[in-house]
Structure 1
């Protein structure tokens, strides 16, 4: 390709007779030369670009742009937390993702792949630039760039399993077209360790620090079932870091709570009073199909299965084994003009900040009226519910509502890639699984999360009066053995992080994705009153534990990249 470009430029110069000998040395208009960037300002500019790639918008992405974002919302539609939403015929490629009809040319797989490698390239550009500057201390910037590269590769590892690792540490032997023989965990660990070694502990909004790097290295260990190593790091962050749970759960998902004590690492979205594209463009489809502000497009609808998981037994304990046996009452099949009484059984209050259901207040906009806010018809597979965590509060519309093309909403709500509750529950999981299990520590960390849910006042006041529903939640009294503790920790992750883009990856790493997702499809078929519902889905098999390597990437590599098994 290089030879063809040089030949074309030379031929053009000969034909026009207007090119000087040194035309290739002139910097492009509006671009900084390499020499101009070889200083602290240049490093900071490139580092900012590496951070900005997190939202998937500011890189040369390919495929489906909505899939490029860092909140991973669309992966929930593969799992049991969400439906694709909207009507079945809208965005058929995502319909195929949900129904397990996966093709290697699907643009949703390419979108995230290209966005993440755009982030890798941006992080590598920082590291490469630092290597060319002879003077100055750039250890902080090196730590941040290494962290970002580790983060982007962690995401690639989660999604695709076998990915090529591109490094710029050895500039004399740089080859971008690398093979993908297997996992890149060792390189991810090395990048996070470099970040730990070079970063300070100070908290700066939107930037990595040593505590954040330790948490992500602990998470990398967790995904590899290196339980002892994971516990050491995550327990340190849980007990010694400056982070803590917000008193109010809702503070993790609104403008007032951005960059608060629980927010460890977040994508920094902003609406700019609706005048820019700095909001969450990847989440632009995930608003009511109408609703209080006439939004679009009705995607990302929670499942009945997720709603059922928030039932409690009357004493405040979750129904770990039996939640799917009974349904929380819904208005599916009922028009807004028809009478409906919401569910009266005991519920975990986190349900009504995670899911919008009829008769319950919708982020301060008033009670959800039901069908008139749902774009999907009763013949579509998406059900009667709406998402809430990604949607701004009524009293923060001016601060949080951004606009994009075709009138789309680009919400300014930050997305927490990692919050402190995640550290607590990961530390609890490692405590259960490590060589010498510590169920006391695991119980403490899970109960910290449950007590916050019990005491939050967003949907109920402290006395429990005027509550929106029958909320009954209590901490665990004890963990009766390792197996029970394992089940409790895993269930708590679903309750705490529902509709936050984590569920599919948890199911995969636990090795239970096929069992859980196939059972969910069968149960949801009974809840969505459509005779052909179940026939629209494939069966989840082992091959679905990794997304396919996009065929575009394999073609461009000239066959150097190998496809994941089963595709």
Structure 2
């Protein structure tokens, strides 16, 4: 089976780029563009579709440097939303030192305004993805060498991708303009025609795109990385969940759980080992519902196919070249504390803090926490004295740029293995790239979203079953972090001894029913925090649950006594959405009035 990134290597996408340019510029004939008539065939339209997939990571490699499609920093638009979903959600600090990429710290403490260039980059990259999808759909009716069924399948892929780009825009900015292949502006060069208002809720249109994709995509794909009908159903159900249409989302989630298969045709299932979802050697597995495909050392001559969105997010110093960003919070670490029964302290986890090495030099003695812990902690957070994949025990301060600013921890889920770095690490750029796919939706996420819908419907026993499926995987000792045979030579392998006192169990029979609906929903929300930490979901979850202001200000209040970077953090009601980029508002002026309206409070 071919892989999508190998196809991307040979695809040449030469379609005009729509941006905020003058009319005179738009009226020029681009020297490298193709006539539409040369694309109205099976090969041409499939090449355009590959370009629509290629926008998923938002990255481009130009003049020996990694940038995003709109020309800004690649990490500003990382598709895992590590800045907007995890830093803004309290999973992590920006990291590094306060002055390094200070725009991220502004966003993470909710003082970022509409002129912050990261917002404009994110907006432009997603709309570039939309534009590419629209161009596929615009060309498709004129293709002469495809059957109607083939056209439906290809249109379904384009609409699936468009639904993804718009859902990211909707979650980020809420009020966004809808442009599709039928928009009056689509084929006109008059710049004023592109000034479409953001006065309509786009969830129904996103829902329609995923519904069409679910009904028309193939179940099996011959190329790894292309969406299938089950991925579309998962996205459709997730869209309904965000719209709070729990009763409509629930049967779709249950259908995906009971009957869904990967694009390779294998049934969805949790992997035995949690970390298999974050290792390039074991990716595209039974848990991957839809992933962005990355490769390294593939002969492309640059890092354009490697995961560069997290290029900053490796421990400082040590064996890594960059850069000490994305440091997990103490609040997150404390969430993994468990009681004697192997269950989390949902309401008072910060009353049971996990021991850290703040202020201690790496040469000073330190013994890691000896209490009960959820084993997912050490596949999510690098902490002093615990094996950091196969790179050796995390040494503490020597791998941290500024402990006082952002704490003592390091991210793990984005880090490549030492044993396979010759294949999966790409060092062509100024910061590390790797071949670890980013899984946009994985099966554990589906189970927890289904649990949420079941709990909302009052089906607490079924909700508990889904949560316990996730917890049971985490409780399997086969997947726990183990100590090294020889800590001085971590590549020699591991013992069978757990690296910490791991104690996790499923919720006892009847627990959700006995404690009631409100408690059950809270338990599901907490399980999402544990399972999906550092994967870019947290902020968006908190917003849709309506608890962002309470949770994030609680986080700031606790965490600011540990680190100095977020002392000014404050979440207000306006922060349930990010500001519409000022640059886009300025470009939307027509007859002296801006077409795009700023979100309330900015």
| TM-score, normalization by structure 2 | 0.86
Q: CA deviation at 1:3?
A: 6.0
Rounded Cα–Cα distance in structure 1 between residues aligned with 2:482 and 2:556: 36
C-alpha distance 34-336 of structure 1, shift in aligned 2 (>3 A): same
CA distance in 1: counterparts of 2:115 and 2:363, whole angstroms: 43
Within the alignment, does 1:488 sit opposite 2:501 as a pair? no
CA RMSD, Structure 1 to Structure 2 (Å): 2.0
| Pairwise CA distance, 1:458 | 3.8
Q: TM-score, normalised by structure 1?
A: 0.91
Aligned to 2:312: 285
Alpha-carbon distance, 1:276 to partner = 2.3
- Aligned pairs for 1:313-462 (under 5 A) are 313-378=339-404, 380=405, 382-405=406-429, 407-434=430-457, 437-460=458-481
What is the Cα deviation at residue 199 of structure 1? 0.7
Among residues 489, 502, 505, which one is paired with 1:471 in the alignment?
502
Partner SS, residue 419 of structure 2:
helix
Q: Does 157-166 or 322-331 show the bigger shift?
A: 322-331
Per-residue deviation, residues 177-216 of structure 1 (Å, max 9, x unmatched): 2100142011001101111121121155211111111100
Task: Tell me which of 110, 120, 131 is aligned to 1:100.
Answer: 110
Mapped pair 1:131 → 2:166: no
**Residue deviations 1:51-96, cap 9 Å, x none?**
0100011474154432112110112111210000000111111121
8 Å Cα contact 1:228/1:430 also seen in 2:
yes
Kindly indicate whether the alpha-carbon contact (under 8 Å) linking 1:83 and 1:301 is maintained by their aligned counterparts in 2: yes
Question: Which residue number corresponds to residue 4 of structure 1?
Answer: 24
**Residue 590 (structure 2) pairs with residue 560 (structure 1):** no
Deviations 1:280-303 (A, max 9, x none): 111100011112x24211000000
- Contact 1:83–1:300 (CA under 8 A) maintained in structure 2: yes
* TM-fit CA distance, 1:173: 7.4
1:208 aligned counterpart, secondary structure: coil
1:141-152 alignment to 2 at 5 Å?
Answer: 141-152=154-165
Tell me which residue corresponds to 1:21.
none
Does structure 1 conserve the Cα–Cα contact (< 8 Å) formed by 2:276 and 2:283?
yes
Query: 2:26 and 2:252 mapped to 1: Cα distance?
Result: 51
Q: Which residue of 1 aligns with 2:487?
A: none
Give the counterpart of 1:109 among 113, 119, 131.
Answer: 119
Matched, 1:513 2:532: no
Query: How much does 1:426 deviate?
Result: 0.3
Match of 1:157 in 2: 170
Retained in 1: the 8 A contact 2:339–2:372? yes
The CA distance in 1 between the partners of 2:134 and 2:26, in whole Å, is 26
Question: Which is richer in strand?
Answer: 2
Change (3 A) 1:184 1:3: closer
Per-residue CA deviation, residues 265-291 of structure 1 (Å, 9 max, x unaligned), is 111011126952111111100011112
Structure 2 distance, partners of 1:419, 1:262, is 5
In structure 2, C-alpha distance between the alignment counterparts of 1:63 and 1:523, rounded to whole Å: 34
Is 2:447–2:467's contact at 8 Å kept on the other side of the alignment?
A: yes
2:291 to 252, 258, 266: 266
Cα separation, 2, equivalents of 1:118 and 1:139: 23
Moved more, 155-164 or 70-79: 70-79
Other structure's SS at 1:394 match:
coil
- Structure 1 Cα separation of the partners of residues 423 and 283 of structure 2: 12
Describe the SS at the equivalent of 2:506.
coil
1:219 corresponding residue in structure 2: 238
Cα distance in structure 1, aligned partners of 2:518 and 2:502? 27
> Does structure 2 conserve the Cα–Cα contact (< 8 Å) formed by 1:80 and 1:305?
yes
The corresponding residue for 1:53 is: 55
Q: Which residues of 2 match residues 162-173 of structure 1 at below 5 A?
A: 162-169=175-182
CA distance in 1, matches of 2:295, 2:272: 24
Aligned to 1:192: 210
**Residues 1:424 and 1:6: Cα distance change in structure 2 (over 3 Å):** closer
User: Which residue number in structure 2 is paired with residue 71 of structure 1?
Assistant: 80
Cα contact 1:249–1:456 (8 A) shared by 2: no
Aligned mates of 1:47, 1:308 — CA distance in 2: 44
**Corresponding residue for 1:549?**
580
Aligned partners of 1:65 and 1:111 also within 8 Å:
no
- Secondary structure of 2:326's counterpart equals strand
Q: Cα–Cα, structure 1 residues 563 and 172, in superposed 2: closer, same or farther, change >3 Å?
A: closer
- Paired with 2:359 and 2:95, the residues of 1 have a C-alpha distance of 16
CA distance in 1, matches of 2:124, 2:444: 30
Deviation of the 1:171 alpha carbon: 6.1
Q: Does 1:33 align with 2:46?
A: no
Deviations 1:239-290 (A, max 9, x none): 1112111111111000121101101111101112695211111110001111
Deviation of the 1:306 alpha carbon: 0.2
Partner Cα distance (2:390, 2:422) in 1: 14
Is 346-355 or 179-188 further displaced after alignment? 179-188
CA distance in 2, matches of 1:42, 1:475: 52
C-alpha separation in 2, matches of 1:41 and 1:66: 32
Task: State whether residues 454 and 460 of structure 2, in contact with CA within 8 Å, keep that contact through their aligned partners in structure 1.
Answer: yes
8 Å contact kept, 2:387–2:482: no
